[in-house]
Amino acid sequence: MKASIVSIGNELLSGQTLDTDTKYLCERLFSIGVPVVSSYTVGDDVDLIVRKLGLASEEGEIVLVTGGLGPTDDDVTRQAFSRFLGAELEVQEELLESIREYFKKRDLQLPEKTEVQACIPSGTRALVNSLGTAPGIRAEWKGRLLFAMPGVPSEMKRMFEELVFDELKKLAGGQFLFVRKLKCFGSGESHIAELLGSEIMKRGRNPLVNCTAHKGVVTLHIIATADTESRATKMVSKDEKLICKSLGELVYGSGEESLAEVVGQKLVEQNKMIAVAESCTGGLLAKLLTDVAGASEYFTYGWVTYSNSAKMSELEVASDLIEKYGAVSGEVAEAMANGARKKSGADFTVGITGIAGPAGGSEQKPVGLVYICVQSDKDCETKRFVFSHNRSFVRLQAAQTALNMVRLRF
């Protein structure tokens, strides 16, 4: 069984609104072993919507539609459904009464246009909207099952979970699908794929291993399908062990864990504290660390010493060191970490200095050059990096890399 999704709304095509509905529906269908084979985004045009409904119905036994069920003139999904199904729109008295009651309870005047939401194609079934006034539509057409739901994410999710998901789960036939995500940092997709080998990432394999990259983090999705949940779980666990053995320290966590969360857990476990001294990252490393709930257990100080004078006055970086090596150097990064350690007394300190761009680089010191130093009570490690892409990515990569360097100290 396969599915297709049709998202409706001019605002989705103009870039004013991000289509989070499709992402949510894909994930939920995926969890019950129903693959989404196609998705369409279409404006508020009856002819275009009818055309996309035809394509979606050719490609999937299940068609999920979101958007265009409101009361305004540009909400034309019900008209498109009517034309596609060859069924006249009919006023449903029960729906009309529930809409009137919705406004009455809130002591609001019922706009005349709102009553159009009580119209659905004959032979279809209304889906109650427990959060709003726009009902959904359930229709059957030539062996296909179609559901139209509101575009408002909160309303769509509630309607899908309450009135659609269980039915689709039954139709899926009790197939179990189990997914585990492994998070990696410190290498790119291609290198990770080489380390894993072609066999484990072979298409059509069960479990299937997918690889995605986002902001420097590579995520491996291990997806197993089986007739029992226990069997699917065991299949995933077996692959997880193989992957972790092949990638070693590149794997930092699982699920939705961030590097900051993993570092925080390690600091708590060993009762250690951390302080940071930043230049080019402008406090981003401190932000990542303190975005984690409970960071007060291990985060002590954070300095943003953007200017040379701040480095000297706040962290006691020697002026002759800056004159000799430059503010962007391994020596200054180490001095920043050392100054932070002296002032904070933390077990771990980090010093970061670099050129985030887009200007300020030279042949000897290009844009993207960053030096990171991590000090602990045991040793001191300073590394040189050259990150590519834009200013925000350079800063994020620098902060993430600093976290990873700390992680690898444990």
Q: Smallest Cα–Cα separation from 50: which of 31, 37, 36, 63?
A: 63
DSSP code per residue over 341-386: HHHH--SEEEEEEE--SSS---SSS-TTEEEEEEEESS-EEEEEEE
The span from the CA of 397 to the CA of 188, in Å, is 13
Structural domains in the chain (count): 3
Q: Are residues 28 and 153 in the same domain?
A: yes
Question: Could you tell me if 67 and 161 lie in one domain?
Answer: yes
CA distances from 197 to 189, 200, 334 (A): 12, 6, 38
* Ranges of residues in the chain whose predicted pLDDT is under 70: 112-113, 174
Instruction: Identify the domain boundary among 220, 239, 254.
Output: 254
Q: Where are the alpha helices (DSSP H) in 113-258?
A: 153-159, 165-171, 189-196, 229-247
Q: Are strands 348-354 and 136-141 parallel, antiparallel or unpaired?
A: unpaired
Give the pair of three-digit tokens for residue 115. 């009553």
| 119, 81 Cβ separation under 8 angstroms | no
Boundary-marking domain end, from 197, 226, 254: 254
Element (H, E) at 278: strand 274-278
Taking a C-beta distance cutoff of 8 angstroms, is the pair 321, 297 a contact?
A: no
Are 143 and 240 members of one domain?
no
Distance, in Å, from the CA atom of 344 to the CA atom of 201, rounded to the nearest integer, reads: 47
Distance CA 107, CA 102 (A): 9
Q: Under a CB-based contact definition with an 8 Å cutoff, are residues 279 and 305 in contact? A: yes
Considering the domain architecture, whether residues 399 and 309 belong to the same structural domain is answered as: yes
In this structure, the number of other CB atoms found within 10 A of the CB of residue 364 comes to: 8
Residues 29 and 129 in one domain: yes
Residues 6 or more apart whose Cβ sits within 8 Å of residue 107: none
CATH number at residue 365: 3.90.950.20
Instruction: Please answer whether residues 62 and 145 qualify as being in contact, where contact means their C-beta atoms are separated by less than 8 angstroms.
Output: yes
Q: Is 247 left (phi over 0), alpha (psi -120 to 50) or beta?
A: alpha
- Tell me what pLDDT residue 407 has: 98
Residue type, 373: C
47 and 167 both lie in a single domain: yes
- In CATH, what number is assigned to the domain containing residue 141? 3.40.980.10
Contacts 24+ apart (CB under 8 A), 240-244: 240/180, 240/182, 242/200, 243/182, 243/196, 243/200, 243/209, 244/182
**What does the pLDDT read at residue 174?**
66
Q: Which of 234, 254, 274 is the last residue of a domain?
A: 254
What integer pLDDT is reported at residue 95 of this predicted model?
82
230 and 308 co-located in one domain: no
β-strand 125-127 against 251-254: which pairing, if any?
unpaired
Percent helix, strand, coil in the chain (nearest 5)? 45, 25, 30
Q: Are residues 240 and 378 in the same domain?
A: no
Cα 299 versus chain centre, distance: 26
pLDDT at 381: 97
Q: Are 180 and 304 part of one and the same domain?
A: no
Strand runs labelled E in 48-124? 62-66, 89-91, 119-121
Residue 153 three-state SS: helix
Same domain? For 54 and 160 the reply is yes
Question: What tokens appear for 260 in the block?
Answer: 């900051």
231 with 267, same domain: the answer is no
Residue 221 belongs to what domain range?
176-254
Both 128 and 213 in one domain: the answer is: no
The CATH number for 188's domain is 3.30.70.2860
d(CA 210, CA 219): 8
Q: What span, in angstroms and rounded, lies between the C-alpha atoms of 220 and 223?
A: 10
At residue 121, the 3 state secondary structure works out as: strand
